[in-house]
Structures are given as C-alpha cells and as structure tokens.
Structure 1
Amino acid sequence: MEALIYNTEMNPNAQQTDSLPVPHADALAQSEALIDLIRERIALAGGWLPFDRYMELALYAPGLGYYSGGAMKFGRHAEDGSDFVTAPELSPLFAKTLARPVAQALERTGTRRVMEFGAGTGKLAAGLLNTLGAGIDRYEIVDLSGELRERQKETIGKDTPEFASKVVWLSELPAAFEGVVVGNEVLDAMPVRLVVRKLGAWHERGVVVFDDCFIFDDRPIFMDTQVELIDVAIDKVNDDEPFAEYLTEMHEAALAFTKTVCTMLTRGAAFFIDYGFPRCEFYHAQRVTGTLMCHYRHRSHPDPFVYPGLQDITAHVEFTGIAEAGTETGADLLGFTSQARFLMNAGTTEVLDELDPADVRRFLPTANAVQKLLSEAEMGELFKVIAFSRGLPDTLEAFAAGDRSHTL
C-alpha cells in the first residue's frame, strides 16, 4: 500500500494550482460542507474510497457537488465566474449546424422528439429549437443541476419564446424513446476509476484522509479480480516495459450510460460530442499519467482535491469502449469522426456564408468562433462525434466523408 500526497495545502510548493483565484466566502463554505460529507463517506467505507466514488461526490452530491450546486460553470471568461466554455457558448452556428443532421435523422426515422443530456446554459437547446422549429413535438432535457435547469428555462424563454412551450425537463428516463438524443460534453463528466501499474502489478487508486487532507492511496488489485477490473487493452500497454509505471482511467459509468441510452432508443439516433481518443490512442504507451484534468476559472490543472465542489473534474473519453457499449445493445454505429469533419460535412461553412462579411461586428467574432470549432489546434481534432441509430436506413451526410469508425 502506498499513499501519494496530492494536495496543494499539503504541498505549498505546487506550481500548477498556486495561482488559482480564491473563491468567495460563501463558495468556500459550500466546499467545506462537501469536504465534511466526503470525509464521512470515507470513514463509512473503512477509510478508503475508490476515486470514482470521490469524483461522483465532488461533482454530483445533492446541493453541494459541482454540477448539483450553484457554481457558474459555463461562460467565456473567468471574470464572469465561469470555469470553461463549450461549443454552443462559442457560437450559435454550432447549434445551427448540428440541427442539420438532427433534422435528417428525425425525418428519415419518422420521429419528432429530441432529448438532450446535460443542457448547460440552454444555448444548444435554444439554437436547435430555433432551427428545427415546427419539425419537433417535444424537446426533453435531462439535467441533474437545479441551478442549470433555471438558467436553461431563462435562456430558452429569451432566445426562442415561440417554441419554449415544447420543452420539458425529465426527472427520470422513459423506458423507450423514439427521436434524436444529443449529448454535448456529457461523457467526459462521468466518474472514472483510476488504475496504476507499478512493478508489473495493477493497483486501484483511492482517496484517504491524512493529516486532515485528502490524499491518494493505491491498493493492489488481486489477480482473481484483475480480469474484471482491468481492460485487456490496458494490460497490454507498453509490453516492452511491463514494469514501467502507467496511470490511466476506466470508464464504467460512461459505458453504462451509453448502454442505457442505446437500450432506451427504439427508433432514431443518438449523437455524443466530446474530447477523447479511440482505444489504440487512449492507452498509448506514452500516455503515462492518464487524462484526468480539472477546470477552475478557465484554468486547467491536475489536482482533484482543490476546492471540491467548486471545480470541474473530467477525463477524456475512450471511444472504442463507447462504441462497443452502444452496439452491444443492438444499436447500429452510425459514425465516428472529428468535430471538424462532422461540422464541415453538415454544412457549417454554408451556415457561415449566410452572414454578411460587410457586417464586421457580427461576422468577425462568428468567423473566429467557427475557426476554434474547426481548427486542429483548437477543438476541431481533439473533439469527436460518435453516433448510434436504430431504424435509420442509411448514413447521414455528416458522416459521409472522413468517417473514422475503422479506427475504433
């Protein structure tokens, strides 16, 4: 058993988090309440809590977690109290372009409902509603955050009052759904297990309390349970150096979510947009420290113990596993490609052409935002789009060129 101290309060020389802004008193009080709750859960678990359970509490503990509390989360700048920006916040052209393959899937499957998971501020919902308009009967939103639901209602009421009455918020999933499912940056926010290979043996990384602080603690995974916990693909990482230390994530929650959605989908399509890699890239021999990352006031750092409940904790998506989880339910893999290729195939440049270049104040910011969505150096390559379908007779134009399903 080995403990790893990974907290800036215990390591004042840490360089990656010492420049983070200090939250205001009310936010710190909320974080302290969550810390007390996590300490209780660690004690109840016998003094050691798997990291995925810590991450679940940090993000989703009722009223205290990052997504279930009242933190700002989405926005363009740290000054507005936000932590990161998503594609729908960058430009309305993202929603307007995504609406095209969504409309095609609805038409070709004869369905008229849209369900969005994790709708953020409601910008994507409002943009899709404005474009799809009378083509849908209901727009259903699933979001765990009461604060975000209120922001979504405000945004939708302001940006698309004509269709706001079509929006409903769900407290539980239906047994069956016909229509199109959309999830933008949902999979990356699901709890992950941390596993580390040391001296040729796998360990699971958990959280303990030491000197009143949270620290990492690695526990060996016994051979009789190793097959259940460790993916075969992980175990073959860097076979030339089997004793080299290697830290990575496992994505049981995201896989279970994908299976649930694809089982629920009886006719239609499901689109998931997120950052990540196919398995061969995710478990690359050189990716020795994993992909876990935290976001606070538009700054990224690797310490998940800083301001619990006030910062986002994410991990990149392993898309091969997502593809397998969806197709195991009997759903078809509709396509897998980069965000840039998906948006270009769907006609984002045509949507941009609808703007007047002479209107500099409107055109230039929009063009700059689209460049970020498409550029390989920005979101265009890191972000991927994976989609599943049932009852869709053929592929969509958005996957007609540059489909990478063969890499999964």
Structure 2
Amino acid sequence: MNPNRPTDSLPAPGPDALAQSAALTEVIRERIAAAGGWLPFDQYMELALYAPALGYYSGGAMKFGRRAEDGSDFITAPELSPLFATTLARPIAQALQESGTRRVMEFGAGTGKLAAGLLTALADLGVEIDGYAIVDLSGELRERQRATIEAQAPAFAAKVEWLGALPDAFEGVVVGNEVLDAMPVRLVVRKLGAWHERGVVMQDEGFAFDDRAVTPDAQIELIDAAIDEANDDEPFTEYLTETHEAALAFTKTVCTMLKRGAAFFIDYGFPRREFYHAQRATGTLMCHYRHRAHADPFLYPGLQDLTAHVEFTGIAEAGVETGADLLGFTSQARFLMNAGITDVLSALDPADVKRFLPAANAVQKLLSEAEMGELFKVIAFSRGIEGTLDAFAAGDRSHAL
C-alpha cells in the first residue's frame, strides 16, 4: 500500500486484517512481476476479490452489515429488510409454477438471509420445492449462510445444499442479487481517439495505474461506437470505462445451464445508451470500505469491495444468444411494486410502531429513486414460460435495452 495515500477519513483495519492484506499484496506483486511488470486490471481485481483465502470474498472479512461499527462494508437489499425476500418470493413462485419446476439456485448468497427468507416465504405461498442450491466461493460465507438458515428457517435447512461447481443442466429458478457487479472488469480508456488498456504496476509499497496502447478488439469497438451514439458524436479528450467479459460469460453459462425455468439478476447499472453517457466518462468502478464509497482500488487489497455498474444491454444480448427468452427488464422499484411489496408491508400492524416504522423506512429505501429503487434493475431470462410474469407486467423496459 502507498503510505502517502490519504486514508484519514477511513477506519484503520486491525492487525490481523492488515496482515491478510499484506499477504495478498505480496501475491499480487509476484503476479505483476511474473507478467513483466504490468498486469491488466481485471486480473488485479480477480485477485483482490477472489484470491484463495486472501481475497475480499474468499477471505474472512465481514462484508455485509448495517454500519461500519459492526465491521461490515455495505448493505444489500436482503440485509436491509426481510420484506425484500418475502416479495421476491412471489415472482419466483410464479416462475416455478408456470415452468413446472421445483428447485431454486442462488449465486452469492451473502449471509444467507435471502435464502432463509425465500425458503420461508415460498412455503407460506404454498409452493413446495425439492431443493435450494447455493453457489458461493467463500468457505467463510458458506458457514455463515448455513448458520443463518438453521436459525431463521430451520424447517427447510435440510433442503439446502452448497455446490462447488455448476451442474451441466438445471431446471428451476436461478437468483443472483448483486452478483454481476462483483465480477472482474477490464479498464479501457480512449485518449484523443486512441484506445488504451489500464493496468496495474508496482509503486513503492503498493500499486499504481499505467495505461498501454492497444489495438481495439470486438468489445472495445462496440464500446467505441456506443460512446459516440450515446453522446451524439461528442468528442472526448479522455473517456474511461469498463468491459464486462466475465459478467457476459457468466450470463451465457447460466442461461445455457438453464433448461427450463427462469433466471433473475438484480443489480445496479444501466442500458447501453445510458451506461456510456458523458456522465460516466470517468467510469463506474467503485470501492466500498466500512460503508463509505471511494475511488482507490489499491487501498487495503483484500479488505474492501471492488464493483462496477452493470451494462444491461450486453447482459440481455448474452442471455438471448444462448436461446433463452428475455423475460423482462425493469427498475427494482417497479419490479417490487408489481410483485406486491406494498401489500406485504400493509400486512404489518401500523399500531405496532416499533416494527412497522423500521419496515416502512426500509421499503422506502428499496423503492425510492434517490435510494435503490431506480439505480437497481431486475433482468430475467426464461425457458419454457409463456409470456411474462406479473412482476414485469407494468413498466417493463426491455425496449430500452
């Protein structure tokens, strides 16, 4: 790490965490040296997030929680309110019923709260499933998920299994909440019409960016045209953005695996024309540490989350290329309202102020344009489902992709 980097506003990690970060830093330095002194950013990001036992998601960091004081870095919708899972269960139940399937698979299950909530809510809806599979790379998170499910949904714990690899075929419903944004991205920058790839080099005790000129590949050529189209050919001295090969490949893999049923992905991002607007000329890469967002991906490697917004048009194209149907695309707010989140909230007794007010405040955050309601989107693919689902019946934005 660079000792001159300003970190005054961020809480300092403890000695064990610093030791883990130092160990990962050494692994990354060795990888950079082996690559000739320059490492593409997507490879740095993959190590920072997923290096065995040391990366952010593969190590033991707290990650999910409500506040910095509990050692966490960010909060997700399932952590914010159990009503998220209760509401999401409704379109999942409809997809299971209309496809005639009886299994659920979740990617990146976090603390297990979404799984526990879905298992309970599906049963309350009268939908019986044969199994609930969780795919997660982190052994530490697997144990947290197991403990959460056993505590919050003990009647269904026996139905849950953890997978170390994807099956060749799956029939049922796939769920991925904030999974696509955590996949490694390349950083590419257009400078006065010439394209460069942004990589990582060693600097003092840490790392720094270094740009190298590249011949545009198919992905960069697509981005080049998209930038001009989104901005009416406005010239840019410099335009920095990301490519999303890992997320596209993941989408294709999931949609190929899905033989019957549906796949839901919930994440923050934009359709292509919005994604490459001038407002995002400095890219969308973000870092999250102790509930504070900042722009330094080299701070405390392995101890902070690195994410990039999702370019949903590419995700839609990747899924459809496999032969899957695009089931729908809309904002999280519209999806949850269509699925009946206000009905779920109204089932609570307003006179029970201690329970109702926090629930109402959480729902407001899930729906508000100023919070998660507009930035977060829901995209879904299907096989063997006629038409669409109630959650996409109004306000579908597939035409904007």
State TM-score, norm by structure 1.
Answer: 0.95
Name the counterpart of 1:9.
3
Shift of 1:302: 0.5
1:229 CA displacement: 4.2
- Residue 336 of structure 2 aligns with an amino acid whose one-letter code is L
* Mapped contact 1:262–1:388 kept (Cα < 8 A): yes
Distance in 1, Cα, partners of 2:328 & 2:226: 27
The answer to whether the 8 A contact 1:115-1:181 is kept is yes
* 1:92 to partner: Cα distance: 0.5
Counterpart amino acid of 1:115?
Answer: M
Match of 2:143 among 131, 147, 150: 150
Q: Give the secondary-structure state (helix, strand or coil) at the position aligned to 1:249.
A: strand
Q: Report deviation, 1:274.
A: 0.3
User: Is 1:347–2:347 an aligned residue pair?
Assistant: no
* Partner in structure 2 of residue 184 of structure 1: 177
SS in 1 for 2:330: strand
* 2:57 aligned partner, one-letter code: Y
Aligned to 2:48: 58
- 2-structure distance, mates of 1:83, 1:233: 31
Structure 2 CA distance for aligned equivalents of residues 227 and 107 of structure 1: 43
**Residues 126 and 243 of structure 1, relative CA distance in 2, 3 Å threshold:** closer
Cα distance in 2, alignment partners of residues 199 and 275 from structure 1: 30
Please give the alpha-carbon distance, in whole angstroms, between the structure 1 residues aligned to 2:243 and 2:304: 21
Alignment partner, residue 207 of structure 2 = 214
Q: Distance in 1 between matches of 2:367 and 2:134?
A: 27
Cα distance in 2, alignment partners of residues 288 and 106 from structure 1: 41
Deviations 1:338-363 (A, max 9, x none): 00000000000011111000011100
Corresponding residue for residue 271 of structure 1: 264
- Within 5 A, what are the aligned runs for 1:283-302? 283-302=276-295
Tell me what 1:107 maps to. Answer: 97
Match of 1:20 in 2: 10
In the other structure, the counterpart of 1:4 is none
Which of 384, 389, 401 is the equivalent residue of 1:391? 384
Normalised by the length of structure 2, the TM-score is 0.97
Q: How many pairs align?
A: 395
C-alpha deviations, 1:93-118, integer Å up to 9, x for none?
A: 00000000000000001000000000
Measure how far apart 1:243 and its partner are.
Answer: 4.7
Alignment gaps of 5+ in structure 2: none
Q: Provide Cα deviations, 1:37-96, integer angstroms capped at 9, x if missing partner.
A: 000000111111000000000000000000000000000010000000000001110000
SS of the counterpart of 2:24? Answer: helix
Match of residue 41 from structure 1 = 31
Distance in 2, matches of 1:347 and 1:48, equals 50
**Could you tell me which residue of structure 1 aligns to residue 359 of structure 2?**
366
Instruction: Structure 1: state its 5+ residue gaps.
Output: 1-6
2: CA distance, partners of 1:53 / 1:117: 21
Following the alignment from structure 1 to structure 2, what is the Cα–Cα distance between the partners of residues 391 and 86? Answer: 31
State the AA in 1 paired with 2:113.
Answer: K
Alpha carbons of 1:236 and 1:395: their partners in 2 closer, same or farther (altered >3 Å)?
Answer: closer
Match of 1:254 in 2: 247
User: How far apart are residue 145 of structure 1 and its match?
Assistant: 0.6
In the alignment, which residue of structure 1 is the partner of 2:128? 135
Identical columns (%)? 79
